[in-house]
Amino acid sequence: MSKRPSSRIAYLDNLRILVTILVVLHHVAITYGAPGDWYFRDVPVSDLGIMLMTIFVALNASFFMGFFFLLAGYFTPRSFDRKGLAKFLFGRLLRLGIPLAAFSFLLDPLLKAIQTVGVWNPGSSFGQAYWFHLQDLTFNPGPLWFVAALLIFSFAYAVVRVTRDVAGPSAERKPIALKPRVILIGAALIGVATFLVRIPYPSGRSWFVFQLGDFAQYVAFYAVGILAYRNGWFDALTAKDGRFWRWTALGVALALPVVGFLGGAFDGDPSEFLGGFRWESLLGSLWWSLEGAAISIALLASFKDRLNRRTALTREAARNAYTVYILHAPVVISVSILLMQTSLAPGLKWLLCSFAAAVACFVLAAGLRRLPLVSRIL
């Protein structure tokens, strides 16, 4: 029988830890030569290293932010059901709005001050640099664009709930298993929608603080998460589903070089692959969507089957995962700037920064969340 999910579900907590670590490693990879937008770049690694990191960030980008929205959508109805409209919205403003404002107006100037002292103007006063950037009140959420989007999605969900009579989950309702062809058709439709959005907004182009070219997946995954909670889709996943979607994800991933070649990604101008009204963009959007869906379901089914347990370490890491996401930018930048001062090879710096930044993020988050006022928000 389908049961209402508890506030902590072991395999979903473990997945949250994994995907949060992937966010840290993703931005470290960009620091050392992988394609993408980030605050700071060091000397890139070798051509082979860049190729490996490019594949890594491409696979990551196909699913990891969408997966965050999927999990957020899954837990949204339960939160609304338990709290009601007023407490739900207040809680969203507290947990999402305060970190968003703090990052934009306090941490973003801090990042710029770190770069000023460490890279742009070594030897200058950190306090003066921070004060200078602190006076620039431009809204810049950086990686917390996700938090801004989730805040908007949460308010949109609240509007739907107060204008429509949405039934809660029934204890008598059996989990519904979605057939692979239904998921594949849905992923293809998301790919087509992504292609259409990327005509005016190619991947990488921002509107306000959002890269709209990726938002067809984000909106769809958030909605799927809500439906998954209501219909027990996650509960119905089996070990067999995990095997099927792991092989599917591997097959689509192995098609990446072919898609990249056909889309012109290896000709020095990948723009045709990233957007516009052209078949190359359609091909790239379909690959991105299919791979994102396959990896997401493979992870859900596999972790549910094999890693649906927690230890003291994973319990603590799961509690701190959201804080790690908020804090990872200054940690990654600080560690990479410190390593820039050494004579280590770029490849070794990449590996050291990946490990050190990930560990430092969780340690710092654990300490920060022990502060009384912070613990109420994070």
End-to-end CA gap in the chain: 33
Report the alpha-carbon distance of residue 194 to residue 214 in Å, rounded: 7
If asked whether residues 41 and 114 sit together in one domain, one would say yes
Residues 210 and 237 in one domain: yes
Q: Which two tokens stand for residue 168?
A: 């809660």
- pLDDT value at 341 more than 60: yes
Counts of helices then strands in the chain (DSSP H, E): 15, 0
Residue of higher predicted confidence among 1 and 145:
145
As for how many domains the chain has, the answer is 2
Q: Is the domain of 300 the same as that of 335?
A: no
The CA distance from 265 to 58, in Å, is 12
Rg (Cα) of the chain, in Å, rounded?
21
Q: What is the mean pLDDT of the chain?
A: 90
pLDDT 10s digits, 295-334: 999 999 999 999 999 999 999 999 999 999 999 999 999 9
Query: Is there a single domain that holds both residue 157 and residue 121?
Result: yes
Side-chain half-sphere of 208: how many Cα atoms within 13 Å? Answer: 9
DSSP track, 131-191: HHHHT------GGGHHHHHHHHHHHHHHHHHHHS-PPPPPTTPPPPPPPHHHHHHHHHHHH
Question: What are the beta bridge partners of residue 210?
Answer: 207
Q: Tell me whether residue 5 is in a domain.
A: no
Asked if residue 274 has pLDDT above 70, the reply is: yes
Same domain, 364 and 272: no
Residue 173: pLDDT over 80: no
Q: Which residue has the tokens 């109420």?
A: 376
* Structural domain harbouring 106: 24-72+81-166+310-378
pTM of the full predicted structure?
0.93
Of 305, 324, 350, the last residue of a domain is: 305
* CA distances, 235 to each of 4, 175, 177, 180, 238 (Å): 10, 6, 8, 16, 8
Residue 10 domain-assigned?
A: no
Concatenate the DSSP letters of all residues of 312-330 into one string: HHHHHHHHHHHHHHHHHHH
Candidate ranges 6-10, 136-140, 150-154; pick with highest mean pLDDT: 150-154
Same domain (yes/no): 157, 178:
no
Nearest CA among 114, 202, 101, 113 for reference residue 142: 101
281 part of a folded domain: yes
Looking at the fold, whether 179 and 227 belong to one and the same domain comes out as yes
When pLDDT is cut at 50, 70 and 90, the band that residue 252 belongs to is very high
Q: What is the mean pLDDT of residues 63-92?
A: 95
Range with top average pLDDT, 12-26, 51-65, 173-187, 279-293? 12-26
Mean pLDDT in residue range 355-359? 97
Report yes or no on 63 lying in a domain: yes
Q: Give percent of the chain above pLDDT 70.
A: 93
The per-residue pLDDT for 45 is: 86
In a domain, 3, yes or no: no
Confirm if 315 and 344 have CB atoms less than 8 A apart. Answer: no
Per-residue pLDDT, averaged over 113-127, amounts to: 87
Q: Give yes or no for residue 65 having a pLDDT over 90.
A: yes
Which pLDDT belongs to residue 277? 92
Q: How confident is the model at residue 169 (pLDDT cuts 50, 70, 90)?
A: low
Buried b (16+ CB within 10 A) or exposed e, 188-226: eebbebbbebbeebbbbeeeeebbbbbbbbbbbbbebbb
Dist. CA 112–CA 29, nearest whole Å: 20
Q: What are phi and psi of 207, to 5 degrees?
A: -120, 120
Select the more confidently predicted residue: 212 or 260.
212
Residue 117 belongs to a domain: yes
